[in-house]
Structure 1
C-alpha cells in the first residue's frame, strides 16, 4: 500500500530505531551513500532493499530512489534514518493510501524535534513541515539550501496531522555542529538567490503555514543581527524557555548556526558588516 525510502550514511544505530517504526511496510528501500559501518546489513536483516549511490544532494538521492528504486506501491513515504514514524502518522497515511482518492499529489508532514530525552515543543518550531509523503509518480524534489523542496505548487500540497519524531542529535552535539558547518555554505548560497528574488509582504500573513514560514525566512535574510534574532525568535517569541535547558541549548545552537551562515555569506561578499 505504501513504499518507504530511507536515506542513510553510516546510520546503523539510527536504523535500529527507525526500521521498527515502519515494520508494517512490505516495501522499504534504503538509499545509501556508501556507508562504512553495518548499515546495509542492518537494513537487509529487516527486509529492506539497499541501493548504493554516491551522494550528490538530498533531492538527487530521493529522486533516484523514486525513479530507479523499483517502488511497488502508489504512495511513498520518505524518511531520514534519524526519524521515527509515530502510530498516528502511520494510520493517517494508510487511510489516504487505502482510499486513493485524495485531491492532493503530495503531503507535508510535521516533525517533532527530540533533544536531551524530550520533545522541543516550542524551540523546535513545531510543527516544522516538510513534504515527505505522496503519490509515487508525482513525488519529486528540487535542491533548496542544504535540503530539498517539493516541485508541486502549494495548491497541490496537503497537510498531515500526526508527526514524525526526529532524533537529530542522536550522534551527539559535535556531529550536529559538523553537519551544520557543511550546511551553512549551502544556506548562504541559497540566501544569495533569495535576496535577488521578490516576495509580497502579504505572504507574511498567508493562511498557509508553510507559505508564511518561507516568507518570514525570505525577509529575515535581509535583517541585521541575524544570529541574535534567530536565538530570540526560538527562545522568546516561540517560547523556547518553556522547553527548559534543552530549549535554551537549542536556541543558542540556532544562533551559532546563523552565525556560520552569515560568515559564509560574508566570505562570498554578499552580506553587509552589521
Structure 2
C-alpha cells in the first residue's frame, strides 16, 4: 500500500464516472476513501469492487461534505488528495504521483494540480479556464475545507505550497451533456452563491484567506471575488462575460465552448444576481449596506 498519500472522493450517483476515476489511480496503490451522500445507482458496487472504504453523510454543500470527510476518515498517510468523482488523473500526473516521496517535500504543505475542464467533449481552453490550478494535495492535519464558502469548495493550508504545471486532472461531467441537467444543477448553485454573498454583505461570513492579487491561485481568486462583490448587480455579469469572450479569448473556443461561456459566465451570474436582489429586498437592506465592503 502506498505510504505517502491517500485519496478521498465524494460521490452521489456516480456510476457513469467512478470507474473512470478509479482506473486512473488504481496502480498508485493508495488507500481510497469514498464519502457518499445517498447514491441509488451502482456507485457503491463500483466502490466495493475497487476496495474503497465508504462512509455515508447527507449532502448540504461541498465544503461541509469535505469537512466531514477530512474529520471522519481514518487516514494514516502524511498526505491527502481530494478528488471529485467526475475527475481523472492523466498519465503525466500519474507519473508525478508515482515518483512522489514525502521526505522530498518536507518544506511543502500543499500542492496545486493543473485542471483541464471538458464540456460536451470540448476542452475549455480559453475564457480564463486554463490553466486552472487547484489545491488538491495537502498534508493531513494541516489542510482543511473552507467552510466560509457555500458552493465552491477549496482546501486551505498554511505554509509553503507548490504548483505542478505539468500533468493534469481532467474534469468532465458526462451528466452535463444533458443541458437540462446542467441548468437544474446551476439553478441550485445560484441559490447557494446568492445566499453566501448576502451573508457576506450582512457580515455573517468572512474570508479564511488573505485576498491578494500577488498571492497563490486561491488568494488571487479571493481578491477577484472581493472586487466582484463591489460591482453593481445585473451589470457585472455582462462585464464578466465580455471580459471572458474578448480579453480571455473565449470567442475562439468554438461552438460548444462559446455556449459554455455564455451559460456559465453570463446566464448563471444573472441568476445569482436575481436571487441576491430578492434576498436584499426581502430583508430591506439599506443602500449604505449595499455599498459596504465585503470580506
Band the TM-score falls in, shorter-chain normalisation: 0.7 to 0.9
Q: Residue 148 in 1 paired to residue 148 in 2?
A: no
Counterpart in 2 of 1:30?
34
Cα distance per residue 1:10-32 (max 9 Å; x no partner): 11111121111111233111110
Q: Residue 212 in 1 paired to residue 220 in 2?
A: yes
Counterpart in 2 of 1:250?
260
Unaligned residue ranges in structure 1 (runs of 5+): none
Alpha-carbon deviation of 1:194? 4.7
Check the 8 A contact 1:96/1:102 in 2, yes or no. no
Alpha-carbon deviation of 1:207? 5.3
Alpha-carbon deviation of 1:152? 2.6
Unaligned residue ranges in structure 2 (runs of 5+): 291-295
- Quote the Cα distance in structure 2 between the aligned partners of 1:170 and 1:160: 28
Check the 8 A contact 1:7/1:32 in 2, yes or no. yes
Q: How does 1:177-192 map to 2 (within 5 A)?
A: 177-192=183-198
Cα distance per residue 1:177-231 (max 9 Å; x no partner): 2121111122123323555679xxx934x25443333212211222231221222
Counterpart in 1 of 2:6?
3
- Quote the Cα distance in structure 1 between the aligned partners of 2:276 and 2:12: 28
| Deviating more after overlay: 91-100 vs 262-271 | 91-100
Q: Residue 237 in 1 paired to residue 244 in 2?
A: no
Q: How does 1:61-210 map to 2 (within 5 A)?
A: 61-123=65-127, 125-143=129-147, 144-153=149-158, 155-161=159-165, 162-171=167-176, 172-195=178-201, 203-204=212-213, 206=214, 208-210=216-218
C-alpha distance 124-46 of structure 1, shift in aligned 2 (>3 A): farther
- Quote the Cα distance in structure 1 between the aligned partners of 2:43 and 2:7: 16
C-alpha distance 210-147 of structure 1, shift in aligned 2 (>3 A): closer
Alpha-carbon deviation of 1:3? 0.8
Check the 8 A contact 2:190/2:275 in 1, yes or no. yes
Alpha-carbon deviation of 1:146? 0.4
Alpha-carbon deviation of 1:104? 2.0
> Number of paired residues?
268
TM-score, scaled relative to structure 1: 0.87
Counterpart in 2 of 1:15?
18
Check the 8 A contact 1:84/1:164 in 2, yes or no. yes
Please tell me the root mean square deviation across aligned C-alpha atoms, in Å.
2.5
Alpha-carbon deviation of 1:173? 2.0
Secondary structure, aligned partner of 2:219: helix
Check the 8 A contact 2:61/2:150 in 1, yes or no. no
Check the 8 A contact 1:113/1:167 in 2, yes or no. yes
Check the 8 A contact 2:5/2:78 in 1, yes or no. yes
- Quote the Cα distance in structure 2 between the aligned partners of 1:179 and 1:111: 21
C-alpha distance 186-156 of structure 1, shift in aligned 2 (>3 A): farther
Alpha-carbon deviation of 1:100? 4.5
| Deviating more after overlay: 260-269 vs 226-235 | 226-235
